[in-house]
């Protein structure tokens, strides 16, 4: 499949869009990451990559091509301390 030409703004390269080529994703394994917070909560986070662009004429320090990705992040609260939870009492948190 031919790569689709596109322009993309890449963090660290200013606000001018750079030329690139969309590279089709053949397979992606997206796993959940658990993030433990100081307040005792645990968040579950998973990125979903839906577009990859190889930037023309840009490479990392090891000579690898530079890629930009477009992602959507899914996040859920896996657990939180009881003290942070909203009370089931209908009057709790009510402003008079």
**6 pLDDT more than 70:** yes
Residue 3 has pLDDT above 80, yes or no: no
Contact 44, 34 (CB under 8 A): yes
Q: How confident is the model over 47-68, as pLDDT tens digits? A: 999 999 999 999 999 999 999 9
Cα 59 from Cα 66, distance rounded (Å): 5
Residue 79 reports pLDDT greater than 70: yes
Neighbours of 20 (CB within 10 A): 24
The pLDDT, as a whole number, for residue 22 is: 96
Domains of the chain, by residue range, sit at 4-81
Q: What is the C-alpha separation between 75 and 34, in angstroms, rounded? A: 10
Question: Distance (Å, rounded) from C-alpha 95 to C-alpha 5?
Answer: 55
- The pLDDT tens digits for 9-50 are 888 888 899 999 999 999 999 999 999 999 999 999 999 999
């Amino acid at each position: 499949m031919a790569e689709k030409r596109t322009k993309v703004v890449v963090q660290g390269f200013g606000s001018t869009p750079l030329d690139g080529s969309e590279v089709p994703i053949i397979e992606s394994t997206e796993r959940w990451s658990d993030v433990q917070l100081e307040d005792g909560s645990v968040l579950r986070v998973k990125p979903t990559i839906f577009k990859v662009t190889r930037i023309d004429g840009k490479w990392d320090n090891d000579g690898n091509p530079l890629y930009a990705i477009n992602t959507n992040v899914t996040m859920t609260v896996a657990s939180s301390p009881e003290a942070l939870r909203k009370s089931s009492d209908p009057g709790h948190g009510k402003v008079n």
